[in-house]
Amino acid sequence: MSKNNFNFLLVGTGNIARTYAGAVNNLPHISVVGVVSRSAERAECFIKDNRLNNASPAESISTFTEDFDAVILATPNGMHHQPAIEAAKMGKHVFTEKVLDIDREKITAMLDECQKHQVKLGVAFQRRLSPDNITLKNMIDKGKLGKIFAVDLRVKLYRGQDYYDSAAYRGSKNIDGGGCFIQQAIHNIDILCHFFGLPEKTISAYGTFTHQMEAEDHGAALLVYPDGKIASIVASTACKPGFLNRMEIHSDKGSIILENDQIVHWTIDGSVNPAQKVKNIHTGGSMAVEDTSAHEQLLEDFVSAVKDDREPLVSGKSASMATELIFRIYEGKIN
Ligand SMILES: NC(=O)c1ccc[n+]([C@@H]2O[C@H](COP(=O)([O-])OP(=O)(O)OC[C@H]3O[C@@H](n4cnc5c(N)ncnc54)[C@H](OP(=O)(O)O)[C@@H]3O)[C@@H](O)[C@H]2O)c1
């Protein structure tokens, strides 16, 4: 890491890799110096199309000969652990797209290896940047919302069959790790875990209703927390035309409703609605993330975390709660 510049090696040339290229092009002190692809030609095209003027194509992380500080993993869900471990062993920091990976043991190995080699592991859960989510987290931690007894999460999205047909692995169990719970609702499930931790008991029902694919496109889960609080999650990519993500929180002091990570209803005894009317972050309405601002913030935070030797805003450990809950949802099937 030079005094003024931080260099990333970007792994993957798909949809979200383009978001990273756009983000880095807006950040003067952060560069992509290499792009890892299974095809040298694809890497060359990606570099040219995305105006990554400092980058060279690379076959793999370990064979890249130029100096770099960290990797960005923009490969499919089940392909994060291997490059994360490869980078950690080289002493390189790791910033990975969600999800961490799709298997408990592999996630544990990623976390352990990053800790062992003293490199940072950051995860792209950009909903954590929502000002209203930040305010609520703070208030929940300080007990300012009263005794919360119910939380209901609704992530009723729609994806056409063309989305699942756009790559052979989409909607597969062995590479995507599942369907609407792990691929789409995970952002909201991360916020649920960030607010309330992990439940004690989880049951679920899910299936594939309107798409041709292996994994689920609709499901529901019921969660019971150690303090008795009851939460429900509905996750879907089958609810045409797709709806705003919604979280409803009820306590002995009143109720809060968030839509797309913004407070739209606030009745909490003795406290004024803290909602901040700000531009929304990417909320899962589509596959592409055209607005690069959230990824810019995540990368800037990650670089500061490395420089200041602190945990990133979304650390690997904190992100692993969402995958753990999703594994329990998949294992808790009753139908
Ligand atoms: N944070 C968010 O809001 C958000 C939004 C969308 C996606 N994501 C996450 O980003 C990751 C990538 O998603 P994406 O939509 O960018 O996927 P994508 O368009 O399919 O791109 C994935 C890239 O990974 C590389 N790759 C390596 N091995 C592969 C394999 N066996 N099959 C397919 N591709 C392989 C490919 O590049 P080469 O062919 O050049 O090797 C491919 O272009 C996923 O983990 C997803 O969950 C996050």
Residue with tokens 């969660």: 223
Counting from 1 in the atom list of ligand 1, the atom nearest the Cα of 284 is: 3
Q: Residue 215 has which token pair?
A: 């994994």
- CB of 124 shorter than 6 A to ligand 1: yes
Cβ of 15 closer than 6 Å to ligand 1, yes or no, is yes
Tell how far the Cα of 110 is from the centroid of ligand 1, in angstroms.
18
Domains and CATH numbers, the chain: 6-127+290-312 (3.40.50.720), 129-284+321-331 (3.30.360.10)
SS3 per residue for the chain: CCCCCEEEEEECCCHHHHHHHHHHHCCCCEEEEEEECCCHHHHHHHHHHCCCCCCEEECCCCCCCCCCCEEEECCCHHHCHHHHHHHHHCCCEEEEECCCCCCHHHHHHHHHHHHHCCCCEEEECHHHHCHHHHHHHHHHHCCCCCCEEEEEEEEECECCHHHHHCCCCCCCCCCCCCCHHHHCCHHHHHHHHHHHCCCCEEEEEEECCCCCCCCCCEEEEEEECCCCCEEEEEEECECCCCCCCEEEEEECCEEEEEECCEEEEEEECCECCCCCCCCCCCCCCCCCCCCCHHHHHHHHHHHHHHHHCCCCCCEHHHHHHHHHHHHHHHHCECC
Which residue positions in the chain have pLDDT lower than 50?
Answer: none
This prediction has a pTM of 0.96
What separation in angstroms does the CA of 38 have from each of 47, 58, 61, 164?
Answer: 14, 9, 12, 21
Q: Check if 97 has its Cβ closer than 6 Å to any atom of ligand 1.
A: yes
